Structure 1
Amino acid sequence: MVLSTNPAAGIASLQLCFYGAGSLAEALARGILNKELTAPSQVSMINRSNRERLAELSERYGVHTILNGADLTNEQFLQRADVIFLAMKPKDAAAAIESIRPLVSDNQLIISLIAGLSISSIERLLDRKLPIVRTMPNTSSTIGLGATGISYSDAVSPEQRAIAEAIFQSVGINAIVDESLQDSITGVSGSGPAYVYYFMEAMLTAAEKLGLDSASAKDLVVQTVLGAAEMVRLTGETPQDLRRKVTSPNGTTQAAIEKLTEGGFSDIVVQAMLRSSERAAEIGADFERSTSK
């Protein structure tokens, strides 16, 4: 695995088209524009029918849609794009990708944000081998703190790799991985924010049982989680070493850790992450079956 953290060259001359206008598509578009990798006039966003959503994105970011796209159709946005982002819902993905088969050309870069959808499945749906980037972003991308797993088809050139990495660096960090590890990325960082939120939910419940009002409890829990993550990032020490430093013998923290250990906390977290990865593989297998018919 290679972690990529250095920004790549600019993409200002490229036309970017997002097929799908959900939260991840918006996060990427915002990141690209906030980092000034390109201008809003170079970005188009399309979806199947939600004109209100397109109007909202156009007003918020100045991107092109069928509502303000110089009379261009969705099909024309796709045809003229240098980079096409597949950002539709997984349940709609197969039919949507098949529908654009006549519109894509060999020199376009396809970037998929669809969990579980393999490069080979996309190639089958498009009926050709194209430069395809498979990614697994997480929801923290919406605030520029995302973690994205990236895998490439053999047809992706070094220049196209730089483009893809620049895009995802605009919303966080990238892990460049073999495609066989994409399910692992899902288990670690793709679903990862939800594990932290679930733990925070439990901390908030406990804080209120201890007599704190909900507002104070939220502030304390959020700051505690934020501070702990920053300690790991800034000190370079392992979570295990930092935990040991704050766990005094027979102290309050040791009492809490012992109770977590009794409940199998560590094993449960490991099992949960393995199950997330396993479920990603199951979804991928379903895609494989549906696209190979």
Structure 2
Amino acid sequence: MHIISFFLVMLKIVFCYKSQKVQRGSDVSLRCDVPLMSKSSTLHWEKDGEQSPNSTLMYNNSAYIILHTVDERSEGNYYCRLMENGRVQTVRIHTVNVTSYSQNKIHTIYRQSGNNSDVSLIFKSKKIYHRLRWTWEQSPKSQIDLIAVEKGIEVQIKGPIEPGRNSSTTYTGQFFIFHISPVNFNYNGTYRCITETSTYTTTILRTIRVSVEPPDGVLRNQSVVLTCEVSEVTDSVTLVWFRMEGNRGVLVKQQIMTEKNNMLRLTVNLASYETDPLHWQCAVFTENTLRALAPITIS
């Protein structure tokens, strides 16, 4: 009787599979949708049997996860599990495959400005190049060299952005990492890896920042203003303020940003502050894809 009951429970589990091939060094956003969720159910992402430490968000009946700067360690199966009363109801399996090289590729990434934010610009090639350089173009026709490397020769730092602690110290001719940490709001722009023959790969960086007024903490019943700002918009981008209840987001305000917007920011005015700390997140969406999360806590 116990065996039959167990078999019937297993039949209720719904499995869905999806596979995706992504560019090395890019950001990948995964989304899991379920038709209905009760208050007692949970929805979360796992990889290799462990809950993923990457940026996650639950909103309505969807669970989002952002994989930053994917490489071979990012490959594998990601499991979105819907749990109801301690039992698995739905498992959605999303397989991520990462390309080994990123030649002639252009991708856009978003980063929150701050001391804990970083960007890894990765060059990996099947062919050997004796020299390369990373350049930065914050506005059209403003390209400057940031770093230059040559096989067997010491790295040359040229520009205003110094390499972070995880930058490569030597150049093999086929692999080099230019690490930026921390990421400042004005680091937005176009980063190109240029070899002796051509542009190998291009990364477009958009930065976001969140702030609270007053900045030094608030008193009970004091009004608060939250601001979320994005550095630049070339396509349609939606900014959303979520009030967080655990990892569940409650939508408070949203606005579509385009190139025509003079102020690329979204503010929330709170008439009075409650006694417990309030956790908020500003989310950046392009179409229905979550591109970035920027958390802030009122205390």
Does the pair score TM above 0.5? Answer: no
TM-score in terms of structure 2 length = 0.25
Q: Of Structure 1 and Structure 2, which has the larger fraction of its residues in helix?
A: 1
Bigger relative contact order, structure 1 or 2 (CA pairs below 8 A, ≥6 apart): 1
**Normalising by the residue count of structure 1, what TM-score does the alignment of the two structures yield?**
0.26
